[in-house]
Structures are given as structure tokens and as C-alpha cells.
Chain A
Amino acid sequence: MIWAAFRLQRLQLLTLLGLLVAGSVTVVLLRSTMVDFFTSTRLIECVAPNAGPCPASPEDLDAFAANWGDLFLVGRVVIVLLPALVGVFIGAPLFAQELEQGTHVLAFTQSVSRTRWMLSKLVVALVPALVVLVVLQYLVWWWLDAAGVLGPHANGSFHVLNFGVEHVSPVGYALFAFALGTFAGAVSRRTLVAMTAGLGVFVAARFALFGLANRWVPRERRDAPVGADADLSQGGGLWVGSGWLDTAGQQVSPDRAAALTRTCKGGTETQEAYTACLQQSGVARRYVITIPESSAWLAHVYDFAVFGGLAVLLLAGTAWALRRQS
């Protein structure tokens, strides 16, 4: 049975292997080229966070940003797109093609049960795709990480593009896209319909569910006295809100805050006068609410749970559609 499933997936599996080899070689070459450049220009000493003054020339820094910025973008976009490709080219045709060509009848009239037939096809199609995705995702991360604070990792894990290519999120998206493709295929029985519908719903769901996981991650409030020269954005993380606290430590309502801003802005010229006006009005501290960078893993786990859960539902739907298929 496993041999049969492998033979029918041969084209996709060879494509995946090609993608893995080409992708790995490309990323490894990119990384070593980048590291060579760092070493030759002393930029290597500017990569680590909180490193001392950067000894490299500004020209080299500019050259680096100009030459590598786009590549960093492409690398991450590829990892963001891979799950969609898994859904369209591996998930959608998996059952749709059999149903379209009637070859499922051949499988359904042999000894193997429908469930086992379905499971072996799913495993043989999905596992290699996930392996390739995870390997490429890790390699891209390893490459970007070598750029340190000069690369995209400086933007933190919650950056739109970074979030989608880190931790377990890509695997969750790939599971979802794959399950969506198989479900669309089992229901529509048309490969092309399954591919387009699967892709459309996947893209829509990725946009609609973006950031949903963040709601369940504990937030952190950082505050400082009004007028103090403290940088509350220090420490990174995802900024989710900000405001003022009164002398009792209570949050100032947004309406009142807006009114105060207007009152204090009008008639004062300097920052000091503005601050003093706020303090006289009872504002003691300002605060920001963030999801700390250290909680990013939790956001990824929730994100994975959302997409993985949807994938499980869709696979159950696929099994249901195939069982009632005649």
C-alpha cells in the first residue's frame, strides 16, 4: 500500500526533493557569501545585539543593506508561500485527481479499506512536504540569524513577515493548506476547482486569522513617569496599546486623554510646559502594553493550534466525503 501511494506521488515527491536540494544549496551559499562579506568588512563585529560601536565603514553598511535587503525579503516570502504551494500542488490533487479520473473505483474494489487507502495517501503526500518545509524554514532562519541585528531578526518575532516564518507556525499553515486542498478535492471531485478554491480560502483564512493567536497570549504593562526620559519600547515585543495612568494608578479613559491632550497642547509651546500641564491635570505616568518578545513562542503555539485544529476538522471532512463517495 505504501509503495502504491509512493508510486502515485512520484512526480510530487521528486519535485519536493528537487526543491529541497536547490533550496538548501541556495541558502547555504547565500549565508556563506554573506558571512564572507561580514568578515572582510568587519561588519561581523556589528551583528551581535548590544555590540559596541561598529567599526565598519558606513559605505559597507549601506552596501550591505542595498544588496541583501531584497534577498532577506525573498527568503522569507518563499517560506510564507510554501504552505500555499503544498496545499495547491500536493493537497488538492491528492484525491481530486483520483475522483476525476475514476481511479478511486479501482482502489475501492480491492482488499484495502477506504480508510487505510486514504491514510496512506495522506501520510505519503504530507510527511515529505512537511520535512522539506521544516528543513528550508530552519535553513532560512539560520541564514537570517547570521545577519543578527543587521537582518530582519532585528524587527522581532512579531513582525508580520517574521511571525509567519518562525517556530511551528509554517507547519500549522502547511497542515491547514494541505487539509483544505484535500477537502476541496474530495468534495468538488475536480482538480482545478480544488486547487483554486483551496488557494482562495487559504489566503483569505491567513489574512482573517492573522494575529488571532496574540489575543490569548499574556500581555505586559510597562510604565514610566510622565516626562521621564524612558524609552518604553525598549525590550521589543508586540505593541498593543498605550495610555496614561493617574496618580492613583488608574488608567485615564481614552476620551479624557484626548481632551487633556487638546487642552495641554493648546497654549503651550515646549515639551516641558506640556508635561507640566498633564501633571497638573492628574496624569502621573504613561504606559505601554506589549506582548513581550519572550512570549512569542506561545503565540506560535496558539497559532499552530488554530490552524492545526482547522486542518484536523478538514481532514475529518475529507474522510467523510470519501466514505460516502461511490
Chain B
Amino acid sequence: MTPLTATAVGKRYGRRWAVRDCTFSLPEGKVVALVGPNGAGKSTLLRMAAGLVRPTTGELRAFDTPVRGRIHPDVSFLAQDRPLHGHLTVREMIRLVAALNDRWSTDRVEEMLALQAGVDRDATIRTLSAGTRTQVAIALALGRLPRLLLLDEPLSDLDPLARDETLRIIMAEVADRGTTVVMSSHLLADLREVCDHMLLIDDGQVQIDGDIDDVLARHRILVGPAADETAVQGALVSATRTPRQTTMLVRDPQPTPHGWTGTEPDLESLVMGYLRAARDRSARRD
């Protein structure tokens, strides 16, 4: 069963399309990086997948069931602003979310919280650091025993240590239960360590959908003389030019022409290349 498929999904707010004609299908058991520039529609897409927002067009299916106005029982969602009741203690918060679920494992939540140093169960939520709050929110999402975990910016606002701990929780979940994870983030270096699949959204549309290794292997960064760009064959994604040399990100390149050097991009430079292309396009449009 496919954890999540989107068929021509679009969402319009007023006259602006946040997401347009998105079609993809996520492989089971993978950790999917959802990347794209700010305002690309990542959050909207995740919120639609969680049943919070209804698509204007198209349809999302979670485990082959259409998502309509409510979350699929096998899906958990971590919202970007980590909605928790600030005046409750961690213990009460766990009990509260447990009370809202049919299938629930407090043991699982405790197990996940145990992975990090000393979360006081009697501390009120509002006294916790941003990192701990995120970790509590993720632990609560795991209490639903999901098969698909949707995480909207799980690493933002976290210091490197908390980021590391959070990723460890997510990886433990994947290792223990084979959960499919979709996480949006700007921290590409961190994503590379844990993600094996990527979905690049830009301008509300899917630009790249594939295994990260495959995607990287299909791209080349070519550096060569500025005067001789015609020698390069393949689909140009974006380029930066100085008077003396040109750096290009090319998809499906032909053999590297004479006088150019070609290297496989890392995730960061690949995404950067696509984001730059997006910025250039929107600059031209304006």
C-alpha cells in the first residue's frame, strides 16, 4: 500500500495557488525530504495530507483511502507551530492526547521521551525549551503508532544538539516500526543524513520526486569557461556566471565537454540550484 499519493492536487487561497497540480506517490518505509523555498506550498501540502485543509482540486490518498476532512488513522502530523496546551504538564498533555485517540500507546511516548536527557513529566509545557517542546510533540505524534509520519519543519528552532536528538528519535521510529516519514526542512545537511527520498516543491509544483541517490547521480555541476556554454548538453537547471567562468547545474548531462569539469552535486548544491532557478523565474515574472 502506498502511504501517500497525490493526484493533481491544488489549493487556492483567494487568487493565489499555494499548491498546483501536484502529483506524486511516496514509497513505503522511506524517509522523504520535502524541500522547497519559503512559501512553496510545503506546509499546505502536509496540512492537506493530514486532513486539515481540503484541496481545491485533485485528491490525496493515505494508504489508498481518500483524505477528506479528517486524518487517516495510520497517519500522524506534527504542525509547524507545535500546538500544545502551555498550561498543562507534560504528563497531563500525554493523557490529554491519549484521550483523543482510539489507538494509543503511552509506552511508546515514554520510550521516545526516554531517548533524550531528562524531560520532567511534571514541568508545564510553557516552561520547556523550544527543542524539548518539539520532542514532546513528536513523541505525542508517535503515540498514535502511525505508519506515516508527517513532520512540518521538525528541526527549525533547534540547536545542533536538540536537532541531533530529534533526528535520533525519528530514526529510532523508522528502525523500530518501519514508519514512512515525510519531513519538510531547510536544513539540507541534516536531511542528507536521514532521508533517502526527496520531493522538491517549487511554486506549488513538484520539481523533483525520487530517490536522493538517483537524483544526485542524474545531475552534474559543470564548471567551465564563460565563453563556451554551447558545448554543454542536457537540461540546464540554473547557472551562475562570472566574467571568467560559468557554473551550471545540469540534469541528464551528456559526457562532460572538453575544457569543463563535472562533479556530482551534493544535496545542498542540488537544492540550491533548483531554488536559484525558482527565484530567477519569479524575478522574471515580476
Binding site for B on A (CB under 8 A): 1-4, 7-8, 101-114, 117, 323, 326
Chain B residues contacting A105 (CB-CB under 8 Å) are 52, 77, 79, 81, 83
How far is the CB of B17 from the nearest CB of chain A, in Å? 16
Instruction: Report the Cα distance A4→B95, complex, angstroms.
Output: 8
Chain B residues contacting A109 (CB-CB under 8 Å) are 50-52, 71, 76-77, 79
Looking at the complex, which one of A104, A110, A323 makes contact with B71 (CB distance below 8 Å)? A110
> Is A112 a contact of B85 with CB atoms below 8 Å?
no
Chain B residues contacting A3 (CB-CB under 8 Å) are 95-96, 99
> Is A7 a contact of B79 with CB atoms below 8 Å?
no
User: Given A7-B92, A326-B47, do A103 and B99 touch, yes or no (CB 8 Å)?
Assistant: no
> Is A111 a contact of B83 with CB atoms below 8 Å?
no
Chain B residues contacting A7 (CB-CB under 8 Å) are 88, 92, 95-96
Asked if B208 is at the interface of the complex by the 8 Å CB criterion, the answer is no
Chain A residues contacting B92 (CB-CB under 8 Å) are 7
Chain B residues contacting A114 (CB-CB under 8 Å) are 69-70
How far is the CB of A53 from the nearest CB of chain B, in Å? 63
Asked if B254 is at the interface of the complex by the 8 Å CB criterion, the answer is no
- Interface of chain A, helix or strand or loop or mixed? helix
13 additional A-B residue pairs with CB within 8 Å, beyond A7-B88, A109-B71? A3-B95, A3-B96, A4-B99, A106-B79, A106-B84, A109-B76, A109-B79, A110-B97, A111-B100, A111-B101, A112-B101, A323-B69, A326-B52
Chain A residues contacting B71 (CB-CB under 8 Å) are 108-110
Instruction: Report the Cα distance A112→B101, complex, angstroms.
Output: 6
Chain B residues contacting A101 (CB-CB under 8 Å) are 83, 85-86
Chain B: CB-nearest residue to A103: B83
- Interface of chain B, helix or strand or loop or mixed? loop
How far is the CB of A101 from the nearest CB of chain B, in Å? 7
> Is A113 a contact of B79 with CB atoms below 8 Å?
no
Chain B: CB-nearest residue to A114: B70
Chain B residues contacting A326 (CB-CB under 8 Å) are 47, 52-54
State which size class the interface on B falls in. 20 to 34
> Is A4 a contact of B96 with CB atoms below 8 Å?
yes
> Is A102 a contact of B144 with CB atoms below 8 Å?
no
Instruction: Report the Cα distance A117→B86, complex, angstroms.
Output: 19
How far is the CB of A289 from the nearest CB of chain B, in Å? 56
Chain B residues contacting A106 (CB-CB under 8 Å) are 79, 83-85, 97
Instruction: Report the Cα distance A212→B71, complex, angstroms.
Output: 46
> Is A4 a contact of B84 with CB atoms below 8 Å?
no
> Is A117 a contact of B81 with CB atoms below 8 Å?
no
Binary contact track B33-57/A, C-beta < 8 Å → 1, others 0: 0000000000000010011111000
Instruction: Report the Cα distance A1→B86, complex, angstroms.
Output: 19
User: Given A111-B73, A113-B70, do A102 and B97 touch, yes or no (CB 8 Å)?
Assistant: no
Asked if B107 is at the interface of the complex by the 8 Å CB criterion, the answer is no
Chain A: CB-nearest residue to B140: A106
Instruction: Report the Cα distance A153→B51, complex, angstroms.
Output: 57
Asked if B214 is at the interface of the complex by the 8 Å CB criterion, the answer is no
How far is the CB of B95 from the nearest CB of chain A, in Å? 7
User: Given A103-B84, A326-B47, do A110 and B53 touch, yes or no (CB 8 Å)?
Assistant: no
Chain B residues contacting A323 (CB-CB under 8 Å) are 69
Chain B residues contacting A104 (CB-CB under 8 Å) are 83
Instruction: Report the Cα distance A8→B88, complex, angstroms.
Output: 9
Asked if B218 is at the interface of the complex by the 8 Å CB criterion, the answer is no
Chain B: CB-nearest residue to A116: B100
Chain A: CB-nearest residue to B150: A109
> Is A111 a contact of B88 with CB atoms below 8 Å?
no
How far is the CB of B187 from the nearest CB of chain A, in Å? 23
Instruction: Report the Cα distance A101→B96, complex, angstroms.
Output: 16
